[in-house]
Structure 1
Amino acid sequence: MPMSTATKKQKIQLNRRGFLRVSATAAGGLLVSLYLDRPSLAQEGAGNQPQRPPAKAYPPDAFVNIKPDGTIHITVNRLEFGQGVHTALPMILADELDADWSQVVSELAPAADIYRDPVFGIQMVGGSGSIAHSYQQYRELGAKTRAMLVAAAAALWNVSADQLRTEASKVYGPAGKSATYAELASAAAHLPVPATVKLKNASEFRLVGKKIKRLDSRPKCDGSLKFGLDLQQPGMKVAIVAHPPVFAARVKDFDDKEARKLAGVRDVFEIPLAKGSGVAVVADKFWIAKQARDLLKINWDATGLDRADSSQLRENYKQLARTEGKVAKTVGDVKSIESTAPANLIVAEYEFPYLPHAPMEPLNTTIRFDGDSAEAWAGSQFQTFDQMAIAQVLGLKPEKVTFHTEMAGGGFGRRAVPDSHVQREAAVIAKRFRGTPVKLIWTREDDIRGGYYRPMHAHRVQVAIGADGFPSAWRHVIVGQSIMAGTPFAMMMKDGIDPTTVEGVADTNYNLPNFHVSVHNPTINVPVLWWRSVGNTHTAYVMETLIEELAARAKMDPIAYRRKLLKPDAKKLRAALDLMDTKSAAWRRRLPAGHAVGFALHEAFGTGVACAVDVSIKNERPRIHRVTIALDCGVAVNPLTIESQFQAGVGFGVSQLMAKGEITLKDGRVEQRNFDGYVPPYIMDAPVTVDVHIVPSTEAPTGCGEPPVPVISPAVVNALTKLTGKRYRSLPLVEV
């Protein structure tokens, strides 16, 4: 996902003006909205601009709706796709509100300016920022709503507010007086919003920091919760698109005679894509549309297009890595490494493939175009971009597109696409079917072959080793496509360097003298995108396998080696490492024969993570018996959800190790088509046990969705090295 650790460290100028608006509902409830007036994303950081845009008029959508029946509806300004914000954000607000948790209802926000991320100025989920960015925001919303309810009770009873207390959605006063929030809501709606409020101390939290069961668990388990793919609308049609086999190719001509013979096929026509063109099939049902697409005979024109080939790219990247690229970081005497004796020099070359996201729920978007307005339904990580893209295609203003955020079955970055290509396709098709809802579905094959992968990378690292066994110089070259270039996020690049390529290396928490990092970002005809934990997926692997190798050469305990090498200010990593050491010590002392332990330590999205694994080899594949993870993420809003995120994140990270866990191209065409060619982890590949331990903290919360992914792969191969004596410089692990 975008806006990861390296990117967040860049200064972004924001015009922060937040205020609350309160209104009484027709039914007598209380609506509380938080309004944020800030420059658009394209203008953030542009401090030299003399004028800022005028304040916008925002629609009266609410974050808090206290209804007459006592239920408190809290709107979540994010997409829920498994990470748990549907529960965690309401917990934060409800805690400051002193709400009765059993009466809290969580709802996903539609696309609207008031729901934009308080830091990045667009409505989005990414960079593990949902809780980190909205923690203060939701606390203040809860506290100010509570203050207004208390003020309403004080006026009703003619007492001062400091004589009142709140608990479980009630205000209690002197002489046994009490009133529910629902009873006070209408009166509170007519009171001024307090300019400032006192927030709770951590010791006063009743929900934050507690293991709270997720609000969406039961409906997900019993099947009653509906995802975007489940959406049904009266008269709805289903669309599928035939995409070019070579990225950006165009339709030369096509024969749809056989496709149109199928009953239920409504239309077949060429559509423009983000790059190139395709052929859309619209039918009454999905299966009819898919069968019709299979019957199409399309001639494609790929004239002048680069035809990517994985074998050739690997060789090209390898050669590029042997040359200096654009300098991302330099410290000390960068030429000192050139005089290092070969015996004291490690030269390591690494290779990483393209990776698909493959979320469980295939990509989909439903749109109904009514001429002067439209309605859209999608599980989107980028509501602002997707709403704007639909409006642009339909010739509407964004506010004329009602955009519903649907529950999504995973994403891992795949639903955060700057060019909104799925939504654009859906809008082009819907425009042809005015007044009729049309659901565009990308099949699993479309997704696996459709691009927008984690970029392919190569690393070349030279490490000079001093007499004490620690690095005396480090030269590092990274090669890989830029994710940000050519997107609205290119403004975050500095000196032409994509920070998502070098994060995890250029900003390392290890004290590396004479340190030099450079990068090449070649342009390849393969669409790329952030993949859960972004650049850390490959940089952590390189750093942590090399650190383990250096510890072995120094004949030092790998935990002690890391402690000594860490910078003094790497407090989160030290805390996580110490906790992991303590929690894993017992089982590490009792390793059975044929087992080995591997370690990894990495900070991403502001969260320090330490990992220890127990690994053996079974049927020529790694068997992960146990994983102990410790993390320092600041305030742990919902430890139960964090535990789930880290357990699942470890499983996701294992996908990098799978023998068939890669995307390859030949003559510009993707060779894999489904889970038969790209094979994700199965039960036998997943860790048997994952225990998660959280460092106690009252610091501001940091990310949890992405930080577990980078550590598992290097930890596993570090253990494998002890079992086999091999160094694993390339992923996936085709052979152990």
Structure 2
Amino acid sequence: MNKANDGQVTSRREFLKLSITVGGSIVVGVGYYGTAHATPEDSAFSPNAYVRIAPDNSVTVICGKSEMGQGVHTAYAQIVAEELDADWSTIVVEQAPVHLDHANPGTPLMATGGSTSVRMNWDRLRRAGAGARFVLLEAAARSWRVDKSQLHARAGWIHGPDGRKARFADFLKACAGIELPQAPPLKSPSEYTVIGRPLLRVDTPPKVTGQAQFGIDVQLPGMLLAVMAFPPAFGATVIEFDPKPALAIAGVRGVFQVTGGIAVVADTTWAAMKGREALSVRWSKSPFADLSMDALRQQYRAALDHPGLVDKESGMSTVKTKSSLTMDFEQPYLVQAPMEPMNCTVEIRADGADVWTGTQGQSLAQRYAAGVTGLKPEQIRVHTTFLGGSFGRRGVNDFVRHAAEIAKAAGKPVKMLYTRADDMRAGYYRPFNRIRISATLGHDGRIASFTAKTAVAAISKWTGFSALKKPNGVDHYATETLAPFYDIEHVEVRWVETDPGIPIWFWRTPGGSQNCFAVESMVDELALLAGRDPYTFRRSMLTSRPRHIAVLDLAAKHAGWNRPAPSGSARGIAIVEIFGSIVAEVAEVKIVDGSVRVVRVTCAIDCGTAINPQQIRAQAESSIVFGLGALLYGDVTIEGGAVQQSNFHDYQVLRMQEMPAIDVHIVPSEAPPGGMGEPALPPVLPAVTNALRVLTGKRINQLPVRLTSDG
């Protein structure tokens, strides 16, 4: 919310209403199948629009992806501005409403995740910018009565013969009736002036000044605040409750049973929380009351004795093996723990409803709210705010359903807020898993065969996204990155679906983080078994993959791999290919007073075309820090069906004083962009434990890292 000079509070939505009344703008939209058109509009908004040029010559890029810190607003703006030849100082980014033209191509949902925002929409955004430039040049050619080949666009101006020039905005009316080609001419990489530059993020100024609106900031006239009383353990339900003690708290306005618990509604969040404390609820026994971590581990060990489903089987090992090795790896439940807890504000009217929230899944939020209110999905307006972190958690939209149910029961606008403990104990988790890998070495000192089997629950089942289940029946994330990309004669990957019933969802690289840890740890053990250097061992098995070699070499070079590690330290190396990008990392590690200290992480990345090198480095650093927190501390434990952790004191993340130096290097490339929100996370886990293997002589195969007293 922003305070106007007259003291009145103007919402961003009202500001948008005012701003779009300015006439004479051109809206350029790229359709779902790549068709395009350009028409003059008196209003400045179209749900199928990506580019808007206003009479003041400003250019608005309409972004259908959630900005949760990954920098997608800036990346989209750079891509469009490049092909449009816009003046970067005039670029404005606007969050799109729910519309499938802002979904990834070929998908039925408007959502953000899987490091897909840029890599899946690269061509679409380029065509949007290039198409607008095509129309403007054609309009200028007709207005000036010259051949279009004599014109060019640069920094928001059209330049013609004899030094003639005019702003884009001067040709808005002349654009009427000019059709966009389905395949407008695109720039070659050698012509880029915006893409590849480390431009400052467009969302930084509003965040620095406090003008940026996160979900938790939303304020509406007459709005009530609500919190939820969640079951004390998974699967428990309300038998009965007495609202009187809660209603006796000053400021409490209502107590309602909703899906998943009891809601307390009040004038303030504090009053709602005090009302929840006073609430008397009798819960049923949890079906998970007998579940313990020991029982869970036993279940997963037993699961690996089953054959499971074959995901991949290639080649047969024809060489005589010299030695073999089998190892198991175990990883715990993890919670996303974004800094801004879940929240959602809902206002319901007879003719529609508005939802304000930071969500990764706008289409699902719209559908959930429609299901609760009985309205049609198109009657639900979803206002996507900035997200204070997510890492997958804000794709569930359970908080939208809760807020909609509470607002419906209360009959007033309601902001529903989770506490940190709510988020950790009533949330969704990266699944527990156990992986068994068996491999053999040939007489040539290379891996001859590699078989991996994972016991893990299916994210596709919990999310309901059938596209995440492969034709062979295997869950995509269960085996993601589990098949190594090295030159190995025989590879076999299997999945044993193992689901105790604990809610799971996406977590930053859900499958890749688990499977890369196991694969790259095993590769290091095999290098040791072969008596080979881990770096050159990997390199010798990548002869068919020059991009991987380039990334591996770059990381090793800048880490000083061929030089001795500092006294008391050791280095470990790992590499992954995920979400269209290749990342190699070298971790320099030492042990101080019995604790692991990661001193430096050197990261090399091939993510194709680098839209904004500064953002790429920031995302690599973010992923590495997130991964180190999980590696060293992350552990959600369940006893009696209840999560034991509640906040950052018992679910620790990496502290500032533990932060390693991070050195990021980008491989120059003209290939299409890969994802960057997540790929740098998986390799940091095995890179650190591979270094610890050198320091301690012991393989860490169960996370989080626990050093024994003699280690």
Give the alignment partner of residue 381 of structure 2, picking from 376, 390, 402: 402
- Partner residue, 1:283: 266
Distance 1:426 1:37 in 2: 35
- Partner residue, 1:475: 451
- Partner residue, 1:461: 437
- Partner residue, 1:601: 575
Q: Which segment is superposed worse, 541-550 or 467-476?
A: 467-476
Maintained 8 Å contact 2:303/2:498: no
Partner AA of 2:340 in structure 1: E
Maintained 8 Å contact 1:356/1:454: yes
Maintained 8 Å contact 1:307/1:669: no
**CA distance 1:123–1:653, change in 2 (3 Å):** same
What are the Cα deviations for residues 172-200 of structure 1, in whole angstroms up to 9, with x where unaligned? 11233211112222322443323432100
Unaligned runs of 5+ in 1: 1-23, 39-57
Partner AA of 2:186 in structure 1: L
Distance 1:195 1:537 in 2: 39
What are the Cα deviations for residues 403-431 of structure 1, in whole angstroms up to 9, with x where unaligned? 111100111111112xx321111111111
Distance 2:538 2:371 in 1: 52
Distance 2:182 2:332 in 1: 53
- Partner residue, 2:475: 498
The question of 1:700 aligning with 2:683 is answered no
> What is the DSSP-based 3-state SS (H/G/I as helix, E as strand, rest coil) of the residue aligned with 2:77?
helix
Distance 2:632 2:414 in 1: 37
Distance apart, 1:25 and its partner CA: 7.3
Partner AA of 1:361 in structure 2: E
Maintained 8 Å contact 1:306/1:525: no
Distance apart, 1:400 and its partner CA: 0.3
> What is the DSSP-based 3-state SS (H/G/I as helix, E as strand, rest coil) of the residue aligned with 1:697?
coil
Q: How do 1:446-457 and structure 2 match up within 5 A?
A: 446-457=422-433
What are the Cα deviations for residues 332-355 of structure 1, in whole angstroms up to 9, with x where unaligned? 448x99x979xx332211110000
The question of 1:147 aligning with 2:134 is answered yes
What are the Cα deviations for residues 683-714 of structure 1, in whole angstroms up to 9, with x where unaligned? 23321x11111111101111111100001111
What are the Cα deviations for residues 143-163 of structure 1, in whole angstroms up to 9, with x where unaligned? 111111112211211112111
What are the Cα deviations for residues 66-118 of structure 1, in whole angstroms up to 9, with x where unaligned? 11222111111100001111101110001111000001011111212221222
Distance apart, 1:26 and its partner CA: 5.2
Maintained 8 Å contact 1:596/1:616: yes
> What is the DSSP-based 3-state SS (H/G/I as helix, E as strand, rest coil) of the residue aligned with 2:256?
strand
Give the alignment partner of residue 27 of structure 1, picking from 19, 23, 28: 23
Partner AA of 1:265 in structure 2: V
Give the alignment partner of residue 555 of structure 1, picking from 531, 539, 546: 531
> What is the DSSP-based 3-state SS (H/G/I as helix, E as strand, rest coil) of the residue aligned with 2:400?
helix
Give the alignment partner of residue 716 of structure 1, picking from 688, 691, 694: 688
- Partner residue, 2:493: 517
Distance 1:407 1:234 in 2: 21
- Partner residue, 1:640: 614
- Partner residue, 1:316: 299
> What is the DSSP-based 3-state SS (H/G/I as helix, E as strand, rest coil) of the residue aligned with 1:36?
coil
- Partner residue, 1:95: 82
Maintained 8 Å contact 2:233/2:286: no
Q: How do 1:28-67 and structure 2 match up within 5 A?
A: 28-36=24-32, 60-67=47-54
Distance apart, 1:59 and its partner CA: 5.9
Give the alignment partner of residue 582 of structure 1, picking from 557, 560, 580: 557
The question of 1:388 aligning with 2:359 is answered no
Partner AA of 1:609 in structure 2: V
Maintained 8 Å contact 1:25/1:31: no
Distance apart, 1:201 and its partner CA: 0.6
The question of 1:617 aligning with 2:594 is answered no
Distance 1:383 1:307 in 2: 37
> What is the DSSP-based 3-state SS (H/G/I as helix, E as strand, rest coil) of the residue aligned with 1:322?
coil
Unaligned runs of 5+ in 2: 1-19, 35-44
Q: How do 1:128-277 and structure 2 match up within 5 A?
A: 128-272=115-259, 277=260
Distance 1:503 1:87 in 2: 29
- Partner residue, 2:631: 657
Maintained 8 Å contact 1:457/1:479: yes
**CA distance 1:326–1:567, change in 2 (3 Å):** farther
**CA distance 1:567–1:287, change in 2 (3 Å):** farther
Distance 1:672 1:525 in 2: 18
Structure 1 runs (4+) greater than 6 angstroms displaced: none
Partner AA of 1:608 in structure 2: I
Q: How do 1:71-86 and structure 2 match up within 5 A?
A: 71-86=58-73
Partner AA of 1:505 in structure 2: L
- State the identity %: 38
Give the alignment partner of residue 684 of structure 1, picking from 657, 660, 666: 657
- Partner residue, 1:439: 415
Distance apart, 1:592 and its partner CA: 1.9
**CA distance 1:333–1:306, change in 2 (3 Å):** farther
Maintained 8 Å contact 2:608/2:672: yes
Distance 2:684 2:526 in 1: 19
Distance 2:532 2:594 in 1: 29
Distance apart, 1:624 and its partner CA: 1.4
* Count of matched residue pairs: 678
The question of 1:366 aligning with 2:345 is answered yes
- Partner residue, 1:345: 324
Distance apart, 1:322 and its partner CA: 3.0
Partner AA of 1:27 in structure 2: G
**CA distance 1:482–1:306, change in 2 (3 Å):** farther
- Partner residue, 1:298: 281
Distance 1:567 1:246 in 2: 52
Partner AA of 1:215 in structure 2: V
What are the Cα deviations for residues 28-75 of structure 1, in whole angstroms up to 9, with x where unaligned? 11112223269xxxxxxxxxxxxxxxxxxx964532221122211111
Maintained 8 Å contact 2:581/2:679: yes
> What is the DSSP-based 3-state SS (H/G/I as helix, E as strand, rest coil) of the residue aligned with 2:232?
coil
TM-score (norm 1): 0.89
> What is the DSSP-based 3-state SS (H/G/I as helix, E as strand, rest coil) of the residue aligned with 2:430?
coil
Partner AA of 1:584 in structure 2: A
Maintained 8 Å contact 2:254/2:410: no
Distance 1:404 1:637 in 2: 27
Distance apart, 1:308 and its partner CA: 3.3
Distance apart, 1:717 and its partner CA: 0.9
> What is the DSSP-based 3-state SS (H/G/I as helix, E as strand, rest coil) of the residue aligned with 1:110?
coil
> What is the DSSP-based 3-state SS (H/G/I as helix, E as strand, rest coil) of the residue aligned with 1:316?
helix
**CA distance 1:323–1:599, change in 2 (3 Å):** same
